[in-house]
Structure 1
Amino acid sequence: MYIVILGAGRVGTQLARQLILEKKDVALIERDSEKARDAANKLDCLVINDEGNNLESLTKAGIQKADIFVSVTASDETNLIACGLVSAEYEKVKTIARVRNLDYSRTKMISNSFLGIDHVINPEIEAAKIISYAISHGARSDIMLFENTSLQMRNLTIRKDSIFIGQSLKSVRQHMDFAFLIAAILRDDHYIIPTGDTEIKEGDQIYIISSEKGFETIFDLEDLGKSELNRITLVGGGHISAYVAEELLDQEPESHFGKTRLGRLLNKKQKKSLQIIEKDYERCKELAERFPQALITHADVTEDNFNEEDFLDDTDLIITATNNQELNLITGIYAKTLGVDKAMALVIRNSYRTIAHNLDIDVTVCLNDTVVNSILKIVRKGNIKNVHALSGGKLEVVEFQIEEDSPIAGKKIIDLKLPEKSLIIFLSHEGQDIIPRGDTVIKSGDYVVLILERESVARMEKLISG
């Protein structure tokens, strides 16, 4: 597979690095000479220092032989024009454009083919979805959802008073009378794909597979009972905060993010109180007009007098979603010292997720990961439904559906030649969730969730697609 990427920023280089690990051929186009030079020194791929919205530079990158073209520059207009140009000239090349700030409707851009572009990805909308799901589940941990199943994956940091400390995974499972599996452990910045004999230690971050009801039991055992989130404060009045506000207020969305289950859930219960804190006065006026039900506060969280005001009084959940990831973490930590129960922070880099959890941030949303994971779902071979990154991007949780002609259809798990340090953590067969054993047979139509090292993705693709 040959992939041309336009834009060597953080997302473009992260995506290129991952695709190279998967043994895919990659060409990277970057207009900035310093970024292009840096990419050429760090990545084992063709790097073109040129504009990417003209046929000459695209031809240099080999667009005529490409399978996929991805445009992730900082300019929405450039991404749309470049993808539109490729679509017009090379009909067989699949095109993917990242679009962040342009005020196009979801119906025209994302749902349908716009300018002949195959896929338009809006990272702000994707991040807002993750935030919304986390709120609807109590904002107690990161949450990874899958299709056609009631099972989900969440993380739990093992505190010194945890009931899990010193127990083997085999022992823990014996005491759980519901679907339960620890799929991975992050310990001292190293990941472990555990066995039944693996012992849980203080400070471990464990990734658990269970149902919503199962997690309620787990959180109760860990004294992390669900608290009411009646007063929510959003710090930063950008696009992500606006999308989340639409959901919380159950308001007709300008973004066409849509009225999802969070809005319906909130509508059934008592109304939530929402405050948005934004430092730009003109933006505050826009937000006040758009969200008359919300309290819009003109304030800068970095100013000394912010600490003297009562902006966070009675706040149950703070969501820090400014463009500064360090500020988001610091503000969330500070809010918890003031008595705010839950803190959720937006970060740009995946490496900040571990830092955030070590600093008592309850939920972390990584903007770069939302983009890269969305693109990988499209690029990967096989009927891929979801991709989630763990352990700073070293591990992946991949959900795929078994097609009729898949080489693994009809085989027992024990007979599969899975990559080393990989594990099928659960599957869904005709609506039934199964924590599999070695003799479990994978059948056509099943939804399978696998955890593996990112370096093993190419082998996984070959295994499921042939």
Structure 2
Amino acid sequence: MRVIVVGAGEVGSNIAAGLDEDHHVVVIDRDSERVEEVTYSHDVLAIRGDGTAIETLREADVADADLVIASTDVDETNIVVCGAAKAVGDPFTIARVRQTNLLRTWEESMGAFGVDFMVCTDLQTAETIVRIAGLPGAHDVETFAGGLVRMAEFEIGPESPIAGETVSAADRFESLTFVALLREDEVVVPRGETVIRTGDAAVVIGSGESVRSFASALTPAPTLEDAREVVIVGGTEIGYQTARLFEAEGVESRLIERDPGRARELAERLPDTLVLESDATDIDFLVREHVDESDIVVAALESDERNLLVSLLAKRIGVERTIGVVESAAYVDLFETVGIDVGVNPRLVTSEEITRFTREQRTENVAMLESDRAEVLEIEIDADSVLFERSIQSAMADLPDGVVVGAISRAGELITPRGETVVEGGDHVVLFVETAVLNAVAGAL
């Protein structure tokens, strides 16, 4: 497939990295330094130019392109890119936007602006925050098989009850499968005798109930269903969307916004959220408003540094868990080390969603882990699959190392896979696959 990516920033570069192995990728950007950087870092053709210009798109052979992805930091530019691409070719177009109102307009008008698929960064980020907030200690959460199966990633700290245990000893949760341990730069496919180490990230797949039980055993903090209160700091669009989604979940929340006009606007738009007008970096205010009694603080200000400060202050007064928006991907690991329990990078969330969409043509659902070191795939089994009417143990002999069957959904029922489990046609199988063997696996599944 020929793919044109317009915009070589963090989002565009991540998308190019996710697609360059399987497709012919062309990247367009106005910045010569970005063009040079992406040329040396990825197996792509990079062109310096204006992606809204017909001449530049023709230079990239847009007439023969199957897919055009507009991923600059300017919403209007991305929409114009898609319209221009449609004017000289017939590619499938994807636009990244931040403004939720543009997404709503596009949804209401069935493909307005020449855009076939639109991803809203702020809404995707808010949805990610709410998913992570639902499981204490989780760094990544996705659902499969219509919500029947859940995948989650948990960091194993020194106080974790399973640190130092073998996988077989830790596997005491019904309907749960340990599919991987992410250990520094290594992906470990666990066996029964594999020892879980402090610092590992454990990836598990199972029923929602079993994953919640596992999360509660690792981190004795309340789940979202049990949370007394969530505090959101910052009335940005991400903050607003997060509060709106919490309202939809029936979770009591407070939102702190220092700008009087914005606070008034949000109070009108969020009937079930208490909006407070104040500066959340004032520790006296936090103490006076009993923020320490909340279960989760979400820092959604426009500054990474202020989000870190709010998280540190929240921890200092006794808040159990903090989730912070981190606009710079380079800061995520640092901020999670010094003060934020989970850092959510909007650009990474967006690039993963776009890359996921491009890969769903061959799968039912896809989730990417640790900047695409591995993927969790949902596949519907047919007669062409190596798994068809075979036991898992038998089928695994024909697949490379780095593949684990995490769950099976059959006629709406969850089946926890074991070696002797026979996969049937029509089953939805959720698998963990290391990215290094993804191409070898794709044809067999």
TM-score (norm 1): 0.83
Shift of 1:279: 4.3
Q: What is the alpha-carbon distance in structure 2 between the residues aligned to residue 291 and residue 329 of structure 1? A: 25
Provide, for residues 152-196 of structure 1, a one-character-per-residue CA deviation record: whole Å limited to 9, x for no partner: 1223333434332332212333x44x1121111133453322122
Q: What is the alpha-carbon distance in structure 1 between the residues aligned to residue 320 and residue 421 of structure 2? A: 42
Tell me if the contact between 2:97 and 2:103 (Cα under 8 Å) persists in the aligned partners: no
1:245 and 2:243 are equivalent in the alignment: yes
* Residue aligning to 1:33: 32
* Residue aligning to 2:376: 397
Q: What is the alpha-carbon distance in structure 2 between the residues aligned to residue 190 and residue 306 of structure 1? A: 44
Q: Which of 209, 214, 238 is the matching residue for 1:213? A: 209
Shift of 1:372: 2.1
* Residue aligning to 1:328: 307
1:436 and 2:434 are equivalent in the alignment: no
Q: What does 1:183-222 correspond to in 2, within 5 Å?
A: 183-222=179-218
Shift of 1:426: 1.8
AA aligned to 1:5 is V
The farther-off stretch of 196-205 and 291-300 is 291-300
Shift of 1:434: 2.4
* Residue aligning to 1:457: 438
1:16 and 2:12 are equivalent in the alignment: no
* Residue aligning to 1:141: 138
Q: Residue 115 and residue 402 in structure 1: after superposition, are their counterparts in 2 closer, same or farther (change >3 A)?
A: farther
**For structure 1, which runs of at least 5 residues remain unmatched after alignment?**
251-261, 267-271
Provide, for residues 346-393 of structure 1, a one-character-per-residue CA deviation record: whole Å limited to 9, x for no partner: 234666555555557444433233222222233226442333222343
1:65 and 2:64 are equivalent in the alignment: yes
SS of the counterpart of 1:38?
helix
* Residue aligning to 1:253: none
Q: What is the alpha-carbon distance in structure 2 between the residues aligned to residue 211 and residue 65 of structure 1? A: 44
The farther-off stretch of 70-79 and 336-345 is 336-345
Tell me if the contact between 2:187 and 2:434 (Cα under 8 Å) persists in the aligned partners: no
Provide, for residues 86-140 of structure 1, a one-character-per-residue CA deviation record: whole Å limited to 9, x for no partner: 224322x1111112126236264378222342111112212222223344x3544
Query: What count of residue pairs does the alignment treat as equivalent?
Result: 440
Q: What is the alpha-carbon distance in structure 2 between the residues aligned to residue 408 and residue 459 of structure 1? A: 15
Q: Which of 373, 376, 385 is the matching residue for 2:364? A: 385
Tell me if the contact between 2:206 and 2:406 (Cα under 8 Å) persists in the aligned partners: no
Q: Residue 316 and residue 168 in structure 1: after superposition, are their counterparts in 2 closer, same or farther (change >3 A)?
A: closer
Tell me if the contact between 1:155 and 1:208 (Cα under 8 Å) persists in the aligned partners: yes
* Residue aligning to 1:4: 4
Q: Residue 305 and residue 342 in structure 1: after superposition, are their counterparts in 2 closer, same or farther (change >3 A)?
A: closer
Provide, for residues 410-465 of structure 1, a one-character-per-residue CA deviation record: whole Å limited to 9, x for no partner: 4544335434322222221222222323454444432222222223333333333x
* Residue aligning to 1:125: 123
AA aligned to 1:13 is S
Q: Which of 322, 335, 349 is the matching residue for 1:343? A: 322
The percent of aligned pairs where both chains have the same amino acid is 29
Q: Residue 107 and residue 406 in structure 1: after superposition, are their counterparts in 2 closer, same or farther (change >3 A)?
A: farther
1:109 and 2:107 are equivalent in the alignment: yes
Q: Which of 231, 234, 241 is the matching residue for 1:233? A: 231
Q: What is the alpha-carbon distance in structure 2 between the residues aligned to residue 350 and residue 433 of structure 1? A: 36
Tell me if the contact between 2:266 and 2:275 (Cα under 8 Å) persists in the aligned partners: yes
* Residue aligning to 2:428: 447
Q: Residue 286 and residue 424 in structure 1: after superposition, are their counterparts in 2 closer, same or farther (change >3 A)?
A: same
* Residue aligning to 1:269: none
The farther-off stretch of 404-413 and 55-64 is 404-413
